Amino acid sequence: MTGRRPESERATAPELAARGVINCVAYREGRRVAPLEIEAIPAALEDPTLFVWLGLFEPDEALMARVQRAFGLHDLAVEDAHRAHQRPKLERFGESLFLVLRTAHFADGGARLAFGETHVFLGRRYVVTVRHGSLTSHVDLRTRCEARPDALALGPGYVLHALFDFHVDQYFPVLDELEEQFERIETDVFDGRSERATTENLYELRRDLLQLRRAIYPLIDVCLRLERHEDELVPQAIRVYLRDVHDHVLRIHEMLEGLRELSASALEAHLSLLSISQGEDTRKLAAWAAIVAVPTMVAGIYGMNFKYMPELTWRLGYPLVLAGTLGVCGLLFRAFKRSGWL
């Protein structure tokens, strides 16, 4: 149902959000029935025609304990969901599945890649999502699911697919932005504008790509396990949708690996160009040092305090020495220029 929500739900939404509950709704045949308080969840789960979708954001320990009692969740899964900082994974606890997804977004005005987590508890007639640090709200996702009651009628399994697909698709714009960053860095590397900032940018890009890989690579195995899950939690109709998500994960992984290889090659090229540039600077300094050494040597000889020096009495001594010094310097300059040192 996509129409206007009941007045009672709108009235309680701020109160629910204030204590970590973003939304808690019961559905029947793919349509919204009513919002629920946590204490009313066990009674709703006794109705075989209903399933419950509860969304939480950074709940405290007391709230997680209430949710655990309402749904009968496993202690280890609840502990992971409360502490966060988990790698993407899929685990089974009795009659429920526990899924961890990582989210990625740019913080500090797009200067830094930050990560969040979404934990999903899936049962036969319930879905519980717990978000930590993620700026991506599930409100629009819930609205889209409610706009397709025929698909939502498939139950919690469809919600799991929608959540999975929603989070995987969030990686595409992140990768597009990282590709644009790499193109700017690549331009600096090969246009001769390489400097210390270029090295720092390349290192930060490589670090972001590594963190992103840690969030994406485990999803390949998660997708395969969900596709092969042979029970009511993930029915056959849902596994068809999951294959599409699997294709998206593979595409993202290929894009990520390609970008990692290009960034590694760019870093090697950048360091090589820096080494070549330093070698060129060293040759130039050595060439100029050799040229300057000639007048320095001549000036040092004639600066000695000896009384008897034959050249001191020559009328043309000064211009001849000066001309000879300039001539030798000119020959050295020409030789270094021809060899590419200057």
Tell me: pLDDT of 315 over 50: yes
Task: Report phi then psi at 114, rounded to 5.
Answer: -120, 155
Q: Quick: pLDDT tens for 46-83.
A: 999 999 999 998 888 889 999 999 999 999 888 888 87
β-bridge partners, 93:
96
**Side chain identity at residue 21, one-letter code:** V
- What is the pLDDT at residue 138? 80
235 near 157, Cβ under 8 Å?
yes
Mean pLDDT of the chain: 82
- What is the pLDDT at residue 17? 46
Structure tokens at 78: 């609840």
CA distance 251 to 257: 10
Give residue limits of the domains in the chain. 1-152, 283-339
Where b means 16+ CB within 10 Å and e means fewer, 303-334 reads eeeeeeeeeeeeeeeeeebeeebeeebeebbe
Percent pLDDT > 70 in the chain is 86
Q: Which of 76, 72, 68 is nearest to 124 (CA)?
A: 72
Q: Number of helices and strands (H, E) in the chain?
A: 11, 7
- What is the pLDDT at residue 242? 87
**Beta carbons within 10 angstroms of residue 67's beta carbon:** 24
Tell me: pLDDT of 282 over 50: yes
Q: Quick: pLDDT tens for 158-205.
A: 999 999 999 998 899 999 999 998 888 888 777 766 677 788 888 888
Would you place residue 134 in the very low, low, confident or very high pLDDT band (cuts 50, 70, 90)? low
As a whole number, mean pLDDT of residues 274-298 equals: 77
Structure tokens at 140: 């629009």
Q: Quick: pLDDT tens for 204-257.
A: 888 889 999 999 999 999 988 888 776 677 878 888 888 889 999 999 999 999
CA distance 179 to 175: 6
Strand, helix or coil for residue 247: helix
Would you place residue 3 in the very low, low, confident or very high pLDDT band (cuts 50, 70, 90)? very low
As a whole number, mean pLDDT of residues 27-54 equals: 91
Angle at 189 between CA 185 and CA 192, to 5 degrees: 135
- What is the pLDDT at residue 120? 93
- What is the pLDDT at residue 218? 93
Altogether, the residues listed in the chain come to a count of: 342
Q: Quick: pLDDT tens for 4-23.
A: 333 333 334 444 444 588 88
User: Are both 1-152 and 283-339 of the same fold?
Assistant: no
Domain 1-152 grouped into CATH 3.90.380.10: no
CA distance 88 to 4: 36
> What fold does the segment set 283-339 form as a domain?
Methane Monooxygenase Hydroxylase; Chain G, domain 1 (1.20.58)
As a three-state string, the secondary structure of 158-226 is HHHHHHHHHHHHCHHHHHHHHHHHHHHHHHHHHCCCCCHHHHHHHHHHHHHHHHHHHHHHHHHHHHHHH
Tell me: pLDDT of 1 over 70: no
103 near 167, Cβ under 8 Å?
yes
